[in-house]
């Protein structure tokens, strides 16, 4: 049974993972020893307990493995979400733009392992500003988004050419539970990933919620929520991605 599982994991790693380090980590998680030339042999990355440096994280959380090769590629709130999710599954591994979720179930006689790979949203290019616009009731809305790492977006909202809001919005670590689907103001259905500003995580009086349409990144919504009364920017229409004009 173990050899079958290992064989499947090897094929998954060969197909989906971009570096041989991924194969090494997966096999170690399931008790298979091997060598990987991309790793410094002086580093004991896979011993029990918690290990980390400025970037990589190798941690046991309630006996469940969390491995992040480069934590600088994700927002701190996203990593906190993964730490919360980790005890609920068998293992979590994140390499670059893909999260691998390993689970196992036992009926007392046998153990069934499963694994799934979830790509991080990539509708917006990395480190490149993308413009979205809309008009409503004589007002012009312009939103500039820039994905600065795999889970974090810088935003700037202008209304009638005046900057109204700037900040950063983060993806939830639970993004792989499913996207949000619903109609826009014209009744057209679409699904999107949600991003929340730092105000949400800091329990501030106001926070921003962004949604980006999955797959195409064509439509974006921008909403502000405030605890006190009717403050904040209201009724912002769905914004459409501006077509790129050849230079």
Residue 44 tokens, joined: 């004991």
Higher pLDDT, 28 or 129: 129
The predicted model gives 152-164 an average pLDDT of 96
Q: Give the residue, 178 or 79, on which the prediction is more confident.
A: 79
CA-angle at 71, arms to 222 and 58, nearest 5°: 135
Q: How far apart are CA 192 and CA 165, in angstroms?
A: 21
pLDDT at 12: 44
Helix intervals (H) in the chain = 2-16, 20-29, 76-85, 198-201
Q: Is the pLDDT of residue 148 over 60?
A: yes
Average confidence score pLDDT of the chain:
79
Q: pLDDT value at position 55?
A: 84
Domain ranges for the chain, please list them.
Answer: 2-119, 129-241
pLDDT, greater one: 19 or 230 = 230
**Residue 221 above 80 pLDDT?**
yes
Q: What is the pLDDT of residues 87-136, one digit of tens each?
A: 999 899 999 999 999 988 776 776 777 889 999 999 999 999 999 999 99
């Amino acid at each position: 049974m173990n050899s079958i599982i290992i064989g499947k994991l090897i094929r998954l790693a060969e197909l989906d993972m971009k570096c041989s380090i991924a194969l090494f980590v997966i096999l170690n998680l399931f008790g298979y020893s091997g060598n990987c030339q991309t790793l410094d042999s002086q580093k004991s990355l896979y011993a029990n307990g918690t290990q980390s440096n400025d970037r990589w994280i190798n941690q046991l959380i309630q006996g469940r493995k969390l491995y992040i090769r480069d934590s600088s590629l994700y927002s701190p709130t996203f990593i906190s979400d993964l730490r919360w999710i980790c005890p609920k599954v068998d293992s979590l591994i994140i390499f670059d733009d893909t999260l691998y979720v390993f689970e196992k179930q036992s009926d007392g006689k046998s153990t069934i392992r499963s694994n799934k790979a979830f790509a991080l949203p990539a509708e917006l290019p990395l480190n490149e500003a993308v413009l979205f616009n809309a008009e409503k009731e004589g007002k012009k809305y312009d939103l500039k988004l820039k994905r600065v790492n795999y889970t974090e977006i810088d935003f700037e909202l202008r209304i009638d050419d005046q900057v109204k809001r700037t900040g950063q919005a983060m993806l939830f670590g639970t993004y792989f539970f499913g996207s949000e689907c619903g109609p826009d103001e014209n009744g057209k259905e679409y699904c999107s990933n949600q991003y929340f500003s730092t105000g949400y995580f800091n329990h501030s009086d106001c926070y921003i919620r962004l949604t980006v349409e999955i797959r195409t990144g064509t439509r974006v919504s921008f909403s502000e929520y405030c605890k006190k009364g009717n403050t904040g920017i209201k009724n912002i229409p769905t914004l459409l991605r501006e077509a790129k004009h050849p230079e």
